[in-house]
């Protein structure tokens, strides 16, 4: 159960991929934070537990310095251990209720949904928000099948009582489309981390979101 109203969630959710982050992940994240990003998911699945903890501690220190939230992908135990703001789970992670027991009521739990059934189940189990993907084609989400499209996104947003972040192939030119479909915000990787100017890319995305919500 979320203790925070939806409007307190940042509308831009950055997911990490150190393999496309230049010159390195920490530098790229700092540029994104300087550009206004205020919620980050550390998603580095190929790291060993000791390696992940080492980098998570550094990323947490960085996000804290900007007043941003840090969620760890799939590891509620590590999130609790280092004092991260929460965890992001998926169908192959531990159950939401198990993570809630580990983390407590004040921590955030996000969930990666790829169908209406998964989205509704996540909401019923107490997730604070979901990402729904892939909206558009993207290599990082190819394993989850064909793009869901705007119609499916709109249906999810109408039926699920928690914030929905559109994920998968999101670019600045698609922000208004997914927000018009009902998404609370956007989640993305390469639109920021693969940008030549990460700080500027973050600022432009936030400006686009702000303009839409103000209209």
Indicate if the pLDDT at residue 1 is higher than 70: no
Q: What is the mean pLDDT of residues 146-169?
A: 96
Q: What is the mean pLDDT of residues 7-30?
A: 94
Indicate if the pLDDT at residue 5 is higher than 90: no
Query: Residue 4's pLDDT is what?
Result: 41
Please provide residue 122's backbone torsions phi and psi, each rounded to the nearest 5 degrees.
Answer: -60, -45
Q: What is the mean pLDDT of the chain?
A: 93
Query: Residue 145's pLDDT is what?
Result: 65
Give the residue from 99, 125, 113, 209 showing the smallest Cα distance to 155: 113
Q: Please report which residue ranges of 35-74 form alpha helices under DSSP H.
A: 49-65
Residue spans of the domains in the chain: they are 8-199
Maximum Cα interatomic distance, the chain, rounded to a whole number of Å: 46
Percent over 90 (pLDDT), the chain: 89
Which residues, including other chains, have CB under 8 Å from residue 7's CB and lie 6 or more apart?
A: none
Query: Residue 33's pLDDT is what?
Result: 98
Q: What is the mean pLDDT of residues 115-137?
A: 96
Rounded Cα gap, residues 97 and 12, in angstroms: 25
Give the tens place of pLDDT for each residue, 74-124.
Answer: 999 999 999 999 999 999 888 999 999 999 999 999 999 999 999 999 999
Q: What is the band of 2 on the pLDDT scale with cuts at 50, 70, 90? A: very low
Q: What is the mean pLDDT of residues 47-57?
A: 97
Q: What is the band of 143 on the pLDDT scale with cuts at 50, 70, 90? A: low
Give the tens place of pLDDT for each residue, 54-81.
Answer: 999 999 999 999 999 999 999 999 999 9
DSSP state letter for 115: S
CATH superfamily of 8-199: Aldolase class I (3.20.20.70)
Query: Residue 138's pLDDT is what?
Result: 75
Give the tens place of pLDDT for each residue, 172-209.
Answer: 999 999 999 999 999 999 999 999 999 999 999 999 99
């Amino acid at each position: 159960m979320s203790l925070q109203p939806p409007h307190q969630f940042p509308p831009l959710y950055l997911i990490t991929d150190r393999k496309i982050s230049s010159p390195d992940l920490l530098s790229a994240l700092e540029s994104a934070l300087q550009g206004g990003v205020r919620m980050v998911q550390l998603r580095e699945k190929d790291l060993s537990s000791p390696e992940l903890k080492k980098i998570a501690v550094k990323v947490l220190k960085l996000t804290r310095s900007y007043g941003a939230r840090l969620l760890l992908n799939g590891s509620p135990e590590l999130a609790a251990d280092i004092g991260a703001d929460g965890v992001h789970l998926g169908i192959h992670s531990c159950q939401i209720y198990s993570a809630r027991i580990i983390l407590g009521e004040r921590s955030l739990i996000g969930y990666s949904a790829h169908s209406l059934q998964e989205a509704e189940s996540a909401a019923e189990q107490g997730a604070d928000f979901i990402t729904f993907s892939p909206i558009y084609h993207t290599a990082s989400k190819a394993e989850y099948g064909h793009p869901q499209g705007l119609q499916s996104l709109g249906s999810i947003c109408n039926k699920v009582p928690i914030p929905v972040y559109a994920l998968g192939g999101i670019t600045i030119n698609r922000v208004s489309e997914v927000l018009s479909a009902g998404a609370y915000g956007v989640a993305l990787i390469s639109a920021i981390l693969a940008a030549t100017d990460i700080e500027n890319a973050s600022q432009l995305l936030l400006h686009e979101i702000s303009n839409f919500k103000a209209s």
